[in-house]
Chain A
């Protein structure tokens, strides 16, 4: 036990010597969290819209007002020059154009069919889809209103009474902030712990340590422990910021979160050691970590992009990214209040991955020594 402690102390001293390391380990996570929390919104509000009202009647102005007074659209230009539409959209000055034809009011009040034209910039498909849905809602409401004026009837058809669960305001920060925990654990523990071992090899101090009475398992434990400690500190820090700054509700139990994080840490430590056994230089370790662990963890785990949209082959690959399961656990505990019963499968999977990777890489490491 004392031997392990020696290594831990040595490691912490070395970490402290690198002036930039400390802020990078503790300030960077908070910074990331705050930026992510504010940025991660695909809320579509204030879509820039250009109005082309060729009727300029009472009713057409009313329809325009329906659009501009909603929080979804902001009027950016008003004109009657048809040629301008293309230019405005190409320059990105508006993302949508609403064109009301001449004779709009006349036809509508006499009960004749009338067409309103909408042109949407499809470059950002998400924004376009949402804007399209909003406009069809506004148009329908307008239609029902103006229709019921001339033909009074109480019937409005079906009304959708929707309730959003788990994240009632559909806040992006509630979705992303808990996820940052998982990303940081992967980054800090996986990458740093692997470099810590490779560095000793590069500097030739690994041999010196081998001749001391310290056993390999003590060495590994002592090496890894500071990073596990840092990982848990970062988790705690983030949970505090998430709850008190972003007001993300924690519906599940935090001890459960700590427990399952432990499983995930097992896995990242295993990966760290594994990386250290296959790389000769720090540069190699970093680049391997970047491309084989870090990028897949961000892009293939469901951190931002939903896994269920991916093609089958890639979906299969995502099973090799344990972060996917850990994300489900973290988001489940934070937002849905899921307990052990719901998360059992995911936790078990991560645990298996952890044990497998850890024991495999420990074996490799011993052989190398």
Chain B
């Protein structure tokens, strides 16, 4: 009993010291609190995959009423924007090459005649595929549009689809990306904030001084991380408020679940930064390690942007080691779907295990350092 009390009080003492130091460096503290919010505002507006206003060109060899009709109804949809009519292929292709249009429609001569005689006819379409994602979506829209035009022209209404979309009715990609962005921002700010902490002391050779204190490495590490957890939680609160009021993202699920998963995630990432700090010998290796283990994986391997199910098996396996993966899934489920704990209990458990493993690794590194 007595021992446990002393453990708590010494953790508390380390935290207090760290807090005082942080308060002195108010610029650092300020940036820890507000940089996440600034990043969210800037990138929340910037990031989306919505395919809208895709500009296109037309070569119309038919120049009939019906061909103009076809182009016009394409043009009034919010997806496409007519750049210009061209008169020959060469001109059209040069626009395509310079990226000024994303696709080029070629309506053949005799379009009107075939339509009237009910003969099959094809329209040529050249799509700029260099951006593969955009290309895929544009191609899908075009096909769907042509289907729609056929239906309208044939006036056959036998078959309809009634479509219902759950959770994100307007299909705005922002709603999907912002929860991911929150996970990403928290990752980089927390990992960066702790990754340089120990290594700096190492470079200045003040780490030895800490080793001679009666603190155990467990007390030292937990005590050092605790203040960062508090500050990062505050920062999370700020970002979530911003995403609610600026981006209109409502939290459908429970706040306590959100709090729980955020706490677990933050401790996980802070511990990661701490581990990096005990491994690296200089600040610049620490920085590069932090980028390689936090920044890039949490963009690429977390499901933030690229769906994990589409990745090759080996890379899917690697994603299990990216804590952002678990958090981003849970925050999306909580915020967008209002899901209950059983839908992402596995993710929460993984974050917990992850934190424990990291703590054990850190303690081992610190003990090694002592010798």
Residues of A at under 8 Å CB distance from B? 18-21, 24, 28, 32, 35-36, 38-46, 89-92, 108, 111-130, 132-137, 139-140, 143, 147, 153-172, 174-175, 187, 191-192, 195, 199, 282-283, 286-287, 290-291, 294-295, 298-300, 304-306, 308-311, 314, 328, 331-332, 335-336, 338, 342
Q: Among B42, B291, B305, B337, which residue has its beta carbon within 8 angstroms of that of A90?
A: B337
List, in ascending order, chain A residues with CB within 8 A of B162's CB.
Answer: 115-118
Question: Once bound together, how far apart are the Cα atoms of A314 and B164, in whole Å?
Answer: 33
List, in ascending order, chain A residues with CB within 8 A of B336's CB.
Answer: 123
Complex contact A158–B150 (CB within 8 A): yes
List, in ascending order, chain B residues with CB within 8 A of A121's CB.
Answer: 165-167
Shortest C-beta distance, B35 to chain A (Å), equals 7
Q: Among B154, B160, B169, B300, which residue has its beta carbon within 8 angstroms of that of A35?
A: B300
Shortest C-beta distance, B171 to chain A (Å), equals 4
Q: What are the interface flags for B56-87 relative to A under an 8 Å C-beta threshold, 1 for contact and 0 otherwise?
A: 00000000000000100000000000000000
Complex contact B161–A167 (CB within 8 A): no
In addition to A118-B162, A305-B47, 12 A-B residue pairs with Cβ atoms within 8 Å of each other are A19-B281, A35-B318, A39-B315, A42-B306, A44-B310, A90-B339, A117-B162, A158-B70, A175-B130, A287-B192, A294-B291, A294-B295
Complex contact A299–B43 (CB within 8 A): yes
Q: Among B99, B134, B171, which residue has its beta carbon within 8 angstroms of that of A128?
A: B171
* A117-B161 CB under 8 A given contacts A41-B132, A123-B176: yes
Question: Once bound together, how far apart are the Cα atoms of A305 and B305, in whole Å?
Answer: 9
Closest-by-CB residue of A relative to B318 is: A35
Question: Once bound together, how far apart are the Cα atoms of A218 and B88, in whole Å?
Answer: 56
List, in ascending order, chain B residues with CB within 8 A of A129's CB.
Answer: 51, 137, 140, 171
Interface status of B14 (Cβ within 8 A of chain A): no
Interface status of B175 (Cβ within 8 A of chain A): yes
Complex contact A24–B136 (CB within 8 A): no
Q: Among B132, B287, B332, which residue has its beta carbon within 8 angstroms of that of A170?
A: B132
A-B pairs, 8 with minimum CB distance: A157-B150, A133-B140, A122-B168, A167-B129, A164-B129, A155-B118, A125-B171, A122-B165
Shortest C-beta distance, B86 to chain A (Å), equals 15
Complex contact B157–A20 (CB within 8 A): no
Complex contact B280–A20 (CB within 8 A): yes
Question: Once bound together, how far apart are the Cα atoms of A294 and B295, in whole Å?
Answer: 10
Complex contact A158–B123 (CB within 8 A): yes
Interface status of B205 (Cβ within 8 A of chain A): no
Q: What are the interface flags for B330-347 relative to A under an 8 Å C-beta threshold, 1 for contact and 0 otherwise?
A: 001100110100110000
Complex contact A175–B168 (CB within 8 A): no
Interface status of B39 (Cβ within 8 A of chain A): yes
Complex contact B140–A130 (CB within 8 A): yes
Closest-by-CB residue of B relative to A187 is: B291
Q: What are the interface flags for B165-185 relative to A under an 8 Å C-beta threshold, 1 for contact and 0 otherwise?
A: 111110111011000000000
Complex contact B131–A175 (CB within 8 A): yes
Complex contact B166–A89 (CB within 8 A): yes
* A115-B161 CB under 8 A given contacts A172-B132, A175-B130: yes
Shortest C-beta distance, B14 to chain A (Å), equals 21
Question: Once bound together, how far apart are the Cα atoms of A155 and B154, in whole Å?
Answer: 10
* A342-B97 CB under 8 A given contacts A112-B158, A158-B122: yes
Shortest C-beta distance, A38 to chain B (Å), equals 5
Q: Among B134, B137, B150, B165, which residue has its beta carbon within 8 angstroms of that of A120?
A: B165
Complex contact A282–B48 (CB within 8 A): no
Question: Once bound together, how far apart are the Cα atoms of A311 and B10, in whole Å?
Answer: 51
Complex contact A113–B159 (CB within 8 A): yes
List, in ascending order, chain A residues with CB within 8 A of B284's CB.
Answer: 18, 21, 192, 195, 199, 282, 286
Complex contact B136–A43 (CB within 8 A): yes
Q: What are the interface flags for B98-132 relative to A under an 8 Å C-beta threshold, 1 for contact and 0 otherwise?
A: 11000000000000000100111111111111111
Closest-by-CB residue of A relative to B297 is: A35
Q: Among B121, B133, B166, which residue has its beta carbon within 8 angstroms of that of A172?
A: B133
Complex contact A161–B122 (CB within 8 A): yes
Q: Among B130, B137, B280, B305, which residue has its beta carbon within 8 angstroms of that of A167?
A: B130
Interface status of B45 (Cβ within 8 A of chain A): yes
Question: Once bound together, how far apart are the Cα atoms of A39 and B317, in whole Å?
Answer: 12
B11-67 residues with Cβ-Cβ distance < 8 A to A are: 31, 35, 39, 42-43, 45-53
List, in ascending order, chain B residues with CB within 8 A of A309's CB.
Answer: 48-52
Closest-by-CB residue of A relative to B310 is: A41
List, in ascending order, chain B residues with CB within 8 A of A116's CB.
Answer: 159-162
Greatest chain B CB density within 10 A among A38, A171, A294 is at: A38
